[in-house]
Structure 1
Amino acid sequence: MKLPIFVRELFKNERETLEAGLRSSDAFVLRRCQILLASSKGERPPRISENLGCASQTVRNAIHEFDECGLDALTPGSSRPKEVHASFDETGAEALRELLRRSPREFGKQTSLWTLEYAAEVSFEEGLTERRVSGETIRATLARLGVRWKRAKRWIESPDPEYARKKGLSSG
């Protein structure tokens, strides 16, 4: 069985900062201060989590971060990755644009209209991406290229040679 973890011994200025944090309007700072002060009094993480209504892993994370970073642990960090790698580089994005100019039927799909999901599926099958991507990734990649994705509409054109003139459509 693992030994319970506790926060390291607090310096006087750290204890004062944590006690001042109990009056913070920021919920993150308040929760962290409550966790760290309770741990400094010898309470174990499961008991702290029970008293504060949070997960015991949250308590352990707060204690570990305080032990590593000190008072910087009171500053909320981002949960986003530090680096985000695009699924499509510039050449891949252009290849996606060219792929979408072809019919989905050429790739074995039973429709003549592209959906974001079909585009994601085919881009993986054709080797444009190393792993499967979401429809949102396809939409974001197209947006980077300046292409707006809209739902395709089926429409019928009249066989009348004067159709464009009558409807006021330009011919070129």
Structure 2
Amino acid sequence: MARKPEVFVRPLSMEEGRRLQKITRTAKDPVKLRRAIVVLMSAQGRPASAIRTLMQVSDDYVRQVVHAFNERGFDALDPKWSGGRPRRISEWVRERICLIARTTPAEWGITAFSTWSLSKLAAHLQQIRLVTSISPQHLSRILKAGGVSWQATTTWKSSDDPDFIAKMCRVLALYDTRPRGGRVICADEFGPLNLQPRQGRAWRPRSHPRRLRATYHRDDGVRHLLGALDLATGKLYYRIRRRKRWTEFLAFLKSLRCRWPGERLYVICDNYSPHKHAEVRAWARASDVELVYLPTYGSWLNWIESEFAALRYFALNGTDHRSHEEQNAAIAAYIRWHNKHASAKVSFAASSPIRSWTSYPTKVA
């Protein structure tokens, strides 16, 4: 039987990458979370066959999610099933309704209010004779199907890093061409790890979901996981500590230094202040360790993010650990499993448009 060709998600922009990373951290819906992890792993270069093994899903499921995301974008992360009788309002009218809903009343010469309610919008649609009649409930369904929802106004961020392109290209160059006599490590913090019930999914009899306590106390403080991903082997290394100050980060770097003596370490990390502490920088210069900082608001470029998403999904979601020792043991068991099945990391976001922003050197000194 001929092997199916590998499939990957379409090229992601920097903003799409950040949005996808946020979904893997905050999504409450387990279907959306699982699909987002699949897409993030594919975007970072992991083939469908590897995603299938890690996520314990079928090869067809991975391909379906990837193709759906390529066709419909982020809407594919939250699939909707529908049925019923044929629509009485034409597709053109529905598109027009969604377009009008995204305008403000002021654009139509209405100054009495600044935003539409469903009843006001329905009355306006009838007044301009786009529809003869429509109920607020049906209007709500049309807007939902058209991808228009009631949302709070938000702000947006653009990177103020003057060296954004240079830093991004430096990271991509290290991903693409491993330096001779050196080792590329992606480092980051994961947490906080507190003791609380965590929503998740499990196989259960129909209509009898697993139940977790709703009332709990945040006892015994929090813990923080300091993690590192070795791109040459794909293995994870970690420490769990009560704090995540520069002292803990420096101690973690020293443990990595001892693990690979004689090799220059290229440690990719974000701009969290402990990573840039003077003592950390001084030790790195003296210990043949280069700290490679990600550009501002570019944390999705850190290859360890997809591994953290999988760690959260498999080791923490659906659990209710009563002690940090119990929770730490679950994390350790997952990382042992991960390292047993790990392989070298290759081809990070190979078809992403970030590759065409500018050229970067193919060799790293």
Greater strand percent: which structure?
A: 2
Greater helix percent: which structure?
A: 1
Assess same fold via TM > 0.5: no
Q: TM-score scaled to structure 2, two decimals?
A: 0.22
Q: TM-score scaled to structure 1, two decimals?
A: 0.44
Q: Which has the higher contact order (CA 8 A, sep 6+)?
A: 2
